[in-house]
């Protein structure tokens, strides 16, 4: 995988730590080559019940505990990005519901009925900027927020969770980003001639522990369903070998996600590989995957 000079890279992360697991090396390489990096966190990771309970050492976590846990993970994410050479301003926190992204794609697509997080009890992002005042936990708003971010950053490379990832927040985030790219293209706001789209896996069988994933990924569809399996099967996987210094940076960045290290240390360790893997999607795949998944899930049109 060749990283050209001066590119603008945007990385979409369903939860704080996914950006570092998947692309800490790539982000450092882009910065080293005088490029720009923006990381978009779709959720603050505030719905991780096991994490909250372990941190607080109690069996029942309150609404405030979950909100505080998300706030802490947000701070850790900023610290983790600084370890890679990014600035706090390079992070965008959309504040959508952890553990609810796939629900927004389906039942909670339209503005009529927003999703309410069973953890924080929020039905909209906790943000105060004027342009996000009317944003709710609904699919149309998440797509629009992603479109707005993409339009203002104008990326050359877009990195997103692979739609075949088995974690529902990950696969749904992947499809949402592809849907946003498709809409921007259809509205004439983005040309595929100028951008490259790459995916990454985090939760897929025993990835990255062994090569089993490589034998099975080509017959897997969105979130492990049959949807779009054929379209995605032609994905080309590219390898980015990391330097020793990039691997050190990746380790520091992962360690900065302290709350996750306590519970997922062994899993996180497996991603300290001397290479990162990315699946390259062509423009036809970007257009077809959200379309096929919308038909598969019988998603309402507005």
Closest distance to Zn ion from the beta carbon of 170 (Å): 6
When the beta carbons of 18 and 147 are compared against Zn ion, the nearer one is: 18
Nearer Cβ to Zn ion (119/288):
119
Taking the complex as a whole, the smallest distance from the CB of residue 154 to Zn ion amounts, in Å, to 26
With respect to Zn ion, which residue has the nearer C-beta, 14 or 155? 14
Q: How far apart are CA 116 and CA 97, in angstroms?
A: 8
Of 14 and 174, the one with the shorter C-beta distance to Zn ion is: 14
Give the residues lining the site for Zn ion (CB under 5 A).
14-15, 18
192 or 267: whose CB is closer to Zn ion? 267
How near is the Cβ of 14 to Zn ion at its closest, in Å?
5
Cβ nearer to Zn ion, comparing 35 with 45:
45
Residue 43 Cβ vs Zn ion, minimum distance, rounded to whole Å: 8
DSSP the chain: ----TT-EEEEEESSTTHHHHHHHHHHHHHHHTT-EEEEEEEE-STT-HHHHHHHHT-S---HHHHHHHHHHHHHHHHHHHHHTT--GGGEEEEEEPTT-HHHHHTTT-STTS----TTT--SS-----GGGTT--SSHHHHHHHHHHHHHHH--SEEEEE-TT-SSHHHHHHHHHHHHHHHHHHHTTS--GGG-EEEEE-SSSTTTTTSSHHHHHGGG--GGGSSTTHHHHTTPEEEEEEPPHHHHHHHHHHHHH-HHHHHHHHHHHHTT--SEEEEEEE-HHHHHHHHHHHHHHTT----
Least Cβ distance, residue 245 to Zn ion (angstroms): 26
Q: Compute the least distance from the CB of residue 189 to Zn ion, in Å.
A: 28
Q: How far is the CB of 223 from Zn ion (least distance, A)?
A: 13
Q: Which one, of 26, 1, 126, lies nearest residue 10 by Cα?
A: 26
Nearest CB to Zn ion, comparing residues 15 and 124: 15
Contacts (Cβ under 8 Å, ≥6 apart) of 75: none
Shortest approach of Zn ion to residue 165 CB, angstroms?
Answer: 9
Calculate the dihedral angle through the C-alpha atoms of 116, 262, 250, 277, rounding to the nearest 10 degrees.
-60
**Cβ closer to Zn ion: 29 or 73?**
73
The residue nearest Zn ion at its CB is 15
């Amino acid at each position: 995988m060749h990283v050209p000079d001066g590119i603008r890279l945007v990385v979409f992360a369903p939860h704080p730590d996914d950006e570092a697991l998947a692309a800490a090396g790539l982000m450092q390489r882009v910065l080293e080559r005088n490029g720009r990096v923006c990381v978009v966190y779709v959720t603050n990771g505030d719905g991780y019940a096991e994490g909250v309970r372990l941190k607080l050492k109690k069996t029942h976590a309150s609404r405030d505990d979950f909100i505080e846990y998300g706030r802490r993970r947000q701070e850790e994410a900023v610290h983790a990005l600084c370890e890679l050479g990014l600035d706090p301003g390079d992070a965008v926190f959309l504040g959508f519901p952890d553990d609810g992204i796939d629900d927004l794609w389906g039942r909670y697509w339209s503005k009529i009925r927003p999703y309410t997080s069973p953890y924080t009890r929020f039905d909209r992002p906790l943000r105060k900027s004027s342009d996000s005042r009317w944003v709710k936990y609904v699919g149309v708003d998440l797509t629009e927020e992603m479109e707005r971010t993409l339009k203002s950053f104008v990326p050359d490379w877009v990195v997103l969770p692979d739609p075949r990832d088995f974690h529902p927040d990950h696969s749904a985030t992947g499809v949402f980003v592809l849907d946003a790219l498709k809409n921007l293209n259809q509205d004439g706001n983005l040309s595929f001639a100028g951008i490259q789209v790459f995916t990454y896996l985090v939760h897929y069988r025993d990835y990255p522990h062994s090569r089993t994933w490589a034998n099975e990924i080509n017959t897997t569809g969105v979130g492990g369903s049959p949807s779009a399996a054929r379209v995605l099967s032609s994905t080309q996987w590219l390898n980015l070998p990391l330097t020793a210094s990039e691997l050190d940076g990746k380790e520091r960045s992962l360690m900065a996600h302290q709350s996750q290290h306590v519970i997922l240390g062994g899993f996180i360790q497996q991603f300290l590989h001397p290479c990162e893997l990315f699946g390259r999607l062509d423009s036809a795949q970007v257009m077809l995957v959200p379309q096929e998944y919308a038909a598969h899930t019988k998603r309402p049109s507005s």
